[in-house]
Structure formats: structure tokens, C-alpha cells
């Protein structure tokens, strides 16, 4: 009798614990799912900056993904990335505001981020505490793509669509441009980023494709607040191997050696 | 027992030698997923040189000549220049890259892939995975583009992906490419794709 009682209590506690964990995990996932597109600009209050992305499910449904395969003059080694960067920092992405072909032959996604730790160089922070960024590629409208493309190329596409009897709304049809060996950016996530300041636009270009943007092993934020991270206890993701590496070791081997 | 062991060792040795030989004799340059390539073949193909790229006409023609006659034997490529791009396989342009953008400053050229309905092809990171109607080569106006770069981009157009072999014209960076013309592996891969 006593044994059955103990087993019963133990079972009940296990069930309660499982249900509790499920509720907590589900709540966290629900919070992350609330990072969806809206028309509000990032707005800071005491709880941090609200995250935002301009990309909606409808835009993704009306898009074609396209990868560009550049021949580069050289690989983005740590030394080259260091030499091309005005700053190297841990940053958290706050907003992804848009993308356009105006800023690069690849198109550039633009948005804002907060700077958590500066590892090298200096960063100009805006009055509102945010820094503007550019990242190659992005979801651009066909209209924007055509406006910056060679005229003969645009005319050919229009001709082929006409021959096929296809009409498209260029303003609301999209191309999801990606560069070979680049990685995705997500709002609320923290990254080690190599940054080159583009004076003309007052924003920092993230340099080096997958070598210059490495996810940090801290929780994704739903409202972004500046974090002061302990560099000795941080890991960054190697986008080639998928392995996590110690940041302090990376800094010693790939940044401090070039200072 | 000893006879059996000896036979095993001999068989394994033969296997290793065979693998080594076959790897070197029939080396291939990587291709796009599903061996994606021109849906119209390459035996009667056309190319267009845009007004923006006329200064590169002689180098483009030299690159075409290298693909038509690689020096490694016969392949099915026959390419002709035409004045209009409406029915072409490969269109050459010089594009406006941004001088203050780092990636633009490191890019010599890139290739794009399109289907007959003007849909741009290639799922992220894997290259075109279905056959395509035409391609574009967009050269960077910042640089003096060499014939070897044009050959490289044309390789993408024909269906060759980047290679990790420094002695392939399809190595992804100019600095890391130790050759300037189509190599046997590249030539063999064209025959594999289009025959």
C-alpha cells in the first residue's frame, strides 16, 4: 500500500513537471512567433526596442528565390575582413526595414541594430541608440530590380512574359536575392559582425558574407535591449562547419593579430 | 587460409588502384543540383554582347573560342554572336556596382539564371536545380575583367558550379585560380552534361 502510494505521488509529480515545462516552452515559442511584420518603426521604451521586419508571408509567397554566384577577386579571410572593417562588434538586430538594388549590384537589406560590445574600432550610434546596417541581398520588388538593371535585360524579360501570356504586378512581385555563401539575418538575434561604414548612407555594411557574420549563443530577444556580454563566456557559430567556437579564442587568433 | 587472405589483400589493392585511376581519368567539375543546364542544349547556341559590354567583345569572343575548342577533344558547344538578346543563351552586360560597397568591390562578375517565363532561378545556396532557358553574365564596371573571368562565368552558364580544385577554371576566386583556360575536367563535365 505504502509502495503504491509512493509510486502514485511520484507519477503525479512527473506529470505536473512535464506539463509545467510544456507551458513554459510554449509561452517562449509564442513570444518568438510575435516577431512578425507590422508597420511600426522600432520604438524604445524601458523594455527595449520593439523588433520589426518588413517581410510578410504574402511577400514571400509572391517571391522567387535567386542566388548569385560571384567570382571574387579573393576570399574573405580574417585578415581581409579586418582590413575592410571600421569596426568589429557584437550586435543585436532590431529591425529589418527593407531592401533595394540602389545600394549594391546584389541589392542590400537595411535596418537597425544595437551595439552590445565593440571589439575593435569605433561605431557611430544614432541619437536613439540604434545603428543602421546594410547586408547584401534581400527581398526586393521586381519593379526595384528592373529600375536598376540593364535596359536590354529588362526588355528581354518583358518580351518573354508577353510571349508566355504572363502579366505580373511588378510592385508586388518579389525576388529574394541571396549571395552564395551568405547567411540569413534574424531580428532579435545577436551576431559577431565585421562592419564597414558607408559615409554616403550613414550605415554600416556587414562585411565578409558567412565569415563576417556569426551568430552568438545568447537567447533571441523579442524586445531588444543593449547587452554587455562577457566575451570570455561567449561562443560564435562557424557557418562552414556548424560548430560553436569560443569568441575569446577567435578574437586572439583573428582580430588581435592584425591590430 | 593464407591463400584466402592473400586474395583479399590483392582485391583490396586492385580496388584502391582502380579508384585512384578512375578518379583522375574521369575527374569532373561539380555541377548544379540535378545537373541543371541549358534546356535547349548548347550545340546551336547564341550569345549577346550588350552595348555596355562592347569594350569586352574581343575577350568575350576569346572566351567563347576556348569553350568551343577547349583543346581537350570534341565537345558539343557551338556558340554564335547575335545582335538581339531575345532568343540567346548567354547575355553579357557590364553592370553598375557600388564603389563604396565592400562586396561590390570584391566582385569581378556574377552569373544569373532565368527560365522562359522570366523567373529567376536557383534556390538559396544550391544553384539552379532545374534546367534553365538563358543566363546573364554581369561584369563589374570597377574592374578590368580578364578573359579567364569570362571563361569562368561561362562555365556557370553551361552548368558548372564552383570547384575546390585550384587548377580548375571554376575555382571561386581569381586569386586562388592557377589556370586561365578550360581544363580537361571542365571539358569532360560539359560532355557529361550535354551528351
Q: Kindly report, residue by residue over A4-15, the tens digit of the pLDDT.
A: 766 666 566 656
- Give me the number of domains chain B comprises: 1
DSSP B159-176: TB---S-TTSTT-SBSTT
The answer to the question of residue B11 being in a domain is: no
Q: Kindly report, residue by residue over A22-35, the tens digit of the pLDDT.
A: 444 444 333 333 32
Specify the CATH number for the domain of residue B58. 3.40.390.10
Q: What is the 3-state secondary structure (H, E, C) of B17-54?
A: HHHHHHHHHCCCCCECHHHCCECCCCCCEEEEECHHHH
Assess whether pLDDT exceeds 60 at residue B25: no
Q: Please tell me the predicted confidence (pLDDT) of residue A6.
A: 65
Best of A69, A99, A101, A157 to disrupt the B interface (most B CBs within 10 Å) is: A69
- When pLDDT is cut at 50, 70 and 90, the band that residue A72 belongs to is confident
Q: Please tell me the predicted confidence (pLDDT) of residue A10.
A: 58
Cell readout for B153 is 562565368
Assess whether pLDDT exceeds 60 at residue A171: yes
Assess whether pLDDT exceeds 50 at residue A231: yes
Interface of A with B in 182-201 (CB under 8 A): 196, 198-200
Burial letters B33-61, b for 16+ CB under 10 A, else e: eeebbbebbbeebbbbbbebbeebeebbb
Choice between A105 and A19, residue whose per-residue pLDDT is larger? A105
The answer to the question of residue B1 being in a domain is: no
Note the pTM of the prediction, 2 decimals. 0.81
The answer to the question of residue B130 being in a domain is: yes
Q: Please tell me the predicted confidence (pLDDT) of residue A21.
A: 47
Choice between A227 and A120, residue whose per-residue pLDDT is larger? A120
Assess whether pLDDT exceeds 70 at residue B17: no
Phi and psi, residue A175, nearest 5°: -120, 125
ipTM comes to: 0.86
- Partner residue opposite B50 with nearest CB, options A68, A72, A152: A152
Domain residue spans in chain A? 1-33, 36-258
Q: Does A67 touch chain B (CB under 8 A)?
A: yes
Cell readout for A50 is 520593439
pLDDT averaged over every residue in chain A:
85
**Chain centroid offset of residue A165 CA:** 37
The answer to the question of residue B38 being in a domain is: yes
Q: Kindly report, residue by residue over B76-126, the tens digit of the pLDDT.
A: 999 999 999 999 999 999 998 888 899 999 999 989 999 999 988 875 556
Q: Domain range for residue B175?
A: 31-194
The answer to the question of residue B21 being in a domain is: no
Q: Does A142 touch chain B (CB under 8 A)?
A: no
The answer to the question of residue B88 being in a domain is: yes
The answer to the question of residue B142 being in a domain is: yes
Amino acid at each position: 500500500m505504502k509502495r503504491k502510494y509512493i509510486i502514485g505521488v511520484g507519477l503525479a509529480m512527473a506529470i505536473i513537471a512535464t506539463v509545467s515545462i510544456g507551458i513554459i516552452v510554449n509561452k517562449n515559442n509564442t513570444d518568438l512567433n510575435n516577431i512578425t511584420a507590422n508597420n511600426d518603426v522600432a520604438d524604445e521604451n524601458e523594455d527595449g526596442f520593439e523588433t520589426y521586419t518588413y517581410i510578410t508571408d504574402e511577400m514571400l509567397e509572391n517571391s522567387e528565390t535567386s542566388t548569385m554566384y560571384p567570382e571574387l577577386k579573393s576570399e574573405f579571410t580574417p585578415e581581409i575582413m579586418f582590413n575592410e572593417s571600421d569596426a568589429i562588434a557584437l550586435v543585436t538586430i532590431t529591425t529589418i526595414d527593407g531592401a533595394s538594388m540602389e545600394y549594391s549590384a546584389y541589392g542590400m537589406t537595411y535596418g537597425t541594430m544595437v551595439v552590445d560590445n565593440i571589439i575593435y574600432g569605433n561605431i557611430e550610434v544614432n541619437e536613439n541608440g540604434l545603428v543602421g546596417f546594410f547586408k547584401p541581398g534581400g527581398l526586393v520588388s521586381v519593379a526595384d530590380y528592373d529600375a536598376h538593371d540593364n535596359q536590354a535585360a529588362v526588355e528581354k524579360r518583358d518580351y518573354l512574359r508577353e510571349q508566355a501570356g504572363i502579366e505580373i504586378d511588378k510592385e508586388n512581385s518579389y525576388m529574394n536575392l541571396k549571395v552564395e555563401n551568405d547567411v540569413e539575418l534574424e531580428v532579435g538575434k545577436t551576431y559577431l559582425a565585421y562592419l564597414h561604414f558607408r559615409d554616403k548612407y550613414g550605415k554600416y555594411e556587414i562585411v565578409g558574407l558567412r565569415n563576417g557574420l556569426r551568430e552568438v549563443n545568447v537567447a533571441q530577444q523579442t524586445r531588444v535591449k543593449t547587452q554587455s556580454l562577457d566575451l570570455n563566456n561567449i561562443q560564435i557559430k562557424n557557418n562552414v562547419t556548424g560548430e560553436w567556437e569560443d569568441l575569446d579564442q577567435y578574437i586572439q587568433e583573428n582580430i588581435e593579430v592584425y591590430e | 587460409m593464407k591463400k584466402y587472405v592473400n586474395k583479399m589483400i590483392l582485391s583490396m589493392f586492385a580496388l584502391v588502384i582502380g579508384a585512384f585511376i578512375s578518379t583522375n581519368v574521369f575527374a569532373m567539375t561539380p555541377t548544379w543540383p540535378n545537373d541543371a543546364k541549358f534546356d535547349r542544349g548548347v550545340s546551336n547556341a547564341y550569345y549577346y554582347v550588350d552595348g555596355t559590354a562592347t569594350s569586352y567583345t574581343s575577350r568575350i569572343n576569346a572566351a567563347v573560342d576556348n569553350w568551343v575548342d577547349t583543346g581537350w577533344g570534341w565537345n558539343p558547344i557551338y556558340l554564335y554572336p547575335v545582335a538581339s538578346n531575345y532568343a540567346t543563351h548567354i547575355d553579357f552586360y557590364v553592370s553598375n556596382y557600388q564603389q563604396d560597397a565592400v562586396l561590390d568591390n570584391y566582385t569581378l562578375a556574377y552569373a544569373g539564371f532565368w527560365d522562359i517565363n522570366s523567373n529567376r532561378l536557383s534556390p538559396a545556396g544550391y544553384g539552379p536545380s532545374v534546367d534553365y532557358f538563358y543566363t546573364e553574365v554581369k561584369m563589374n564596371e570597377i574592374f578590368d575583367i580578364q578573359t579567364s573571368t569570362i571563361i569562368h562565368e561561362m562555365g556557370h552558364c553551361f552548368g558548372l558550379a564552383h570547384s575546390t580544385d585550384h587548377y580548375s577554371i571554376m575555382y571561386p576566386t581569381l586569386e586562388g585560380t592557377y589556370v586561365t583556360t578550360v581544363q580537361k575536367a571542365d571539358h569532360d563535365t560539359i560532355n557529361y552534361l550535354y551528351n
